[in-house]
Amino acid sequence: MYKLKEVVNKNDWNNFIINNKEKFEFLSFLSSWEWWFFQELAWKKVFRFGIYKNELLIWVLPLIKNEAKRWTYLFAPHSPLILKEYDFFEVIYDLKNFLLSFSKSQKVDFIRFNSPVKNTLNNKNCFKKLWFLDAPMHEHAEDTHLLDLTPSEENLLSNMKKEDRYYINRAIKEWVKIVIWNTNEQIDLLSSMHQKHSEKIWYHSFSCDFIKMLYESFWDNITTISARYNWKVESILMTIRFANTCVYYIAASDIVSHKFSPNYLCQWETIKNAKENWCTIYNFWWVSPDNNPKHPIAGVSKFKRKFSWYDYSLLHAQDLPITKKYWINYIIESIRRVKRWYYYKKPE
């Protein structure tokens, strides 16, 4: 039997994850205490549950209470996070009654798990047996592209195509300046360029307040990197580190020098910076589930995959309906997904 109680100490939470980082299938900053602090800055209610077996912490289950006009729900991004030696679905089954009872006490209409488990038919069927169903819309990255940082820099470069290495080397020869610094100027520039870039290629952008709260929450583990040529910033990005993983999270560009696109050098210097900070995984975050050029993020996905290594697909978000209001949300989010041309990789 598993026991569940709230974790109130930041060090207990983060140290459990960091000390066991090799024992999780997938890990990102969305599991960190800092992400939950960020949610609280956004005036959301957060519950940080620890799951214990024989007084030993084996699992963390953070839940965000999202309140909209028409419905309210509990959301677990890239969690529950459980050690590999335990059966994920056995624990979920054992805790299901608690989750239902807790959901009713919070007056929510459904629970959404964006779980860190592989996108397999077996995992989907296991959720189905527990009365979960595919969410109509994603909320965080599910199809990602990962780069193993343990090889040498020379090996990482050699795994790229010759034409892509050319862009990096040419930018170096052209004296493209790389700035790695979280100054107010860099942060403001990232925000403004991100807004303009989103308007140019039609994607949903993060607000300036959202970005500033990220810096407030993750300051020690957040890095801003920009590439300047002839005093003009042509590429800028932000990464967030947690445990052994560095995530490429927000970026923007205004490329003028197409012959040696500074995007490549900016990304390469970011990868080197992650390696220097003892990260073993570089996560390019969200990529399209295939190479279909019609997918909304096909262009940036093609760029991310130029840095070699492999795609990693998480199971699509799973919903557990609690009240009839869930079906209103289901219809609205389904329409939104279709309008935006999103689709998801089928379990294998």
For the stretch 80-122, pLDDT in tens is 998 888 889 988 998 899 999 999 999 999 999 999 999 999 9
Predicted local confidence at residue 336, as pLDDT: 92
Counting Cβ atoms within 10 Å, is residue 347 exposed (0-12), middle (13-18) or buried (19+)?
middle
DSSP-derived secondary structure letter, 23: G
Domains in the chain, CATH or no CATH each: 3-140+314-339 (3.40.630.30), 144-312 (3.40.630.30)
For the stretch 262-295, pLDDT in tens is 999 999 999 999 999 999 999 999 999 998 998 8
Predicted local confidence at residue 38, as pLDDT: 96
Upstream peptide bond of 80 is cis (omega within 30 degrees of 0): yes
For the stretch 289-322, pLDDT in tens is 998 998 888 889 999 999 988 999 999 999 999 9
Residue 1 has pLDDT above 80, yes or no: no
Residue 199 has pLDDT above 80, yes or no: no
Measured CA angle at 36 (ends 280, 225), to 5 deg: 45
d(CA 71, CA 111): 11
Q: 232, 226, 240: which is closest to 190 by C-alpha?
A: 226
Predicted local confidence at residue 202, as pLDDT: 62
d(CA 336, CA 276): 41
d(CA 28, CA 78): 7
